[in-house]
Every structure is written in structure tokens, then in C-alpha cells.
Structure 1
Amino acid sequence: MLTGISAELVAAGGICGAEGSCWMAITGTEEQLHMTLLYYIILQKCLKIR
């Protein structure tokens, strides 16, 4: 939503510690996908997610 990409949930669940995980398919322009990855990296560092 922030970058204009479309996302669709393709799988969810998990076992052996991966419970609550999800896989999403995202589509958009190359610029939108790069911006999304940048936001993800920034959030990951701010929230200290591995």
C-alpha cells in the first residue's frame, strides 16, 4: 500500500518454529519493488527483526 505494489497471500502456517509465517506474492514496477525492499530493511533494523 505504501509503495503501490499488489500483494497476495499464497501460503501461511508453519511447523518447527515457523508457526505464524506467511508467503506473499508481490507485483509492481521495478521501482515499487525496490522501495518495498528498502522499507522492509529499514523496519527490520528499527524493530531488530532477524
Structure 2
Amino acid sequence: MGETTAVAHGGNPQDRAASPRPRCIAAIPRISLVLVQLTSLVLVSLSVHRIV
């Protein structure tokens, strides 16, 4: 009753829930890339200290 969503007007039921999801999915690769970069920086730092 009183629905104003896309579903109430015969639209695609996925239109409502689709917008927030890509932002969440896009954040996952960014976080893992940062973790990989930090890990490689730590490893390089450790190896430089061993050489010196």
C-alpha cells in the first residue's frame, strides 16, 4: 500500500537493490591491493636491512 518503488510500478525488482552493491564490490580489490603493497614494502624493508 502506497508503494513508490520500481516494483510497485511494474519495473525491474532488482532496480531497487542494485545501486549500493557495486560500491561495496569495488572496495574489495582496492583493500587487497593496499594490503599487497604494504606487504611488499615490509619485505623490501626487511631485505634492505639484512643486506646492510
TM-score bracket, shorter-length normalisation: 0.3 to 0.5
More helix by share: 2
Query: TM (normalized to structure 2)?
Result: 0.38
Q: For CA contacts below 8 A with separation 6 or more, give which structure has more relative contact order.
A: 1
More strand by share: 1
Larger Rg: 2
